[in-house]
């Protein structure tokens, strides 16, 4: 039985920057939890960020791949460079995925860590652009298929293969 790495905030845990969860109430997620398939992660908390914390975005409209290659930075709303802990959180998430045999991940979109389709553009103005967060980029580079919270049905079809 394949296990799935899941953003802790989607499971209702108050780990987001603003100390709230963003629970995904869905029958499939409930079933996977009951089956013991869910491996909960929050890369930012695992890297040592506080709850709550200043929101962070990948600067200059870049994405997680650019951060991992060293050409972009993650900056929080106070102007602090938080790139290194974001990369560390991604590495921890990858290690947990490998340790638990996770070939798939269901992560919250929009996050500079977990965004898989859209992320904020670094201007702290609420604008999003296509791209992935740091954790998603690292997971995908290591063969883990990542789905956003809006793609749970697609993930279910992959799991059922």
pLDDT per residue as tens digits for the range 74-124: 999 999 999 999 999 999 999 999 999 999 999 999 999 999 999 999 999
What are the residues whose beta carbons fall under 8 Å from the beta carbon of 118, sequence distance 6 or more?
109, 110, 128, 129, 130, 131
Domains held by the chain: number: 1
Which residues span the domain enclosing 19?
A: 3-159
How much is the mean pLDDT over the chain? 97
Q: How far apart are CA 158 and CA 161, in angstroms?
A: 5
Mean pLDDT of all residues in 134-146: 98
Does the model's pTM come out above 0.85?
Answer: yes
pLDDT at residue number 160? 84
Examine the pLDDT at 161 and tell me if it is beyond 90: no
Label residue 1 by pLDDT band (50, 70, 90): confident
pLDDT at residue number 125? 97
Q: How far apart are CA 16 and CA 96, in angstroms?
A: 19
pLDDT at residue number 151? 98
How far, in whole angstroms, is CA 56 from its chain's centroid?
13
């Amino acid at each position: 039985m394949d296990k799935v790495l899941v953003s802790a905030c989607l499971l209702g845990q108050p780990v987001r920057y603003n100390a709230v969860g963003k629970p995904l109430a869905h029958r499939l997620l409930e079933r996977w939890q009951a089956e013991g398939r869910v491996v909960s992660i929050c890369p930012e908390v695992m890297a040592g960020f506080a709850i709550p914390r200043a929101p962070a975005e990948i600067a200059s409209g870049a994405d997680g791949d650019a951060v991992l290659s060293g050409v972009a930075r993650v900056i929080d709303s106070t102007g602090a460079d938080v790139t290194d802990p974001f990369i560390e959180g991604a590495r921890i998430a990858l290690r947990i995925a490998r340790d638990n045999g996770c070939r798939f991940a269901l992560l919250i979109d929009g996050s500079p860590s977990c965004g898989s389709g859209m992320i904020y553009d670094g201007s702290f103005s609420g604008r999003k652009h296509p791209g992935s967060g740091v954790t998603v980029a690292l997971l995908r580079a290591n063969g883990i298929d990542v789905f956003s919270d809006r793609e749970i049905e697609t993930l279910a079809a992959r799991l059922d293969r």
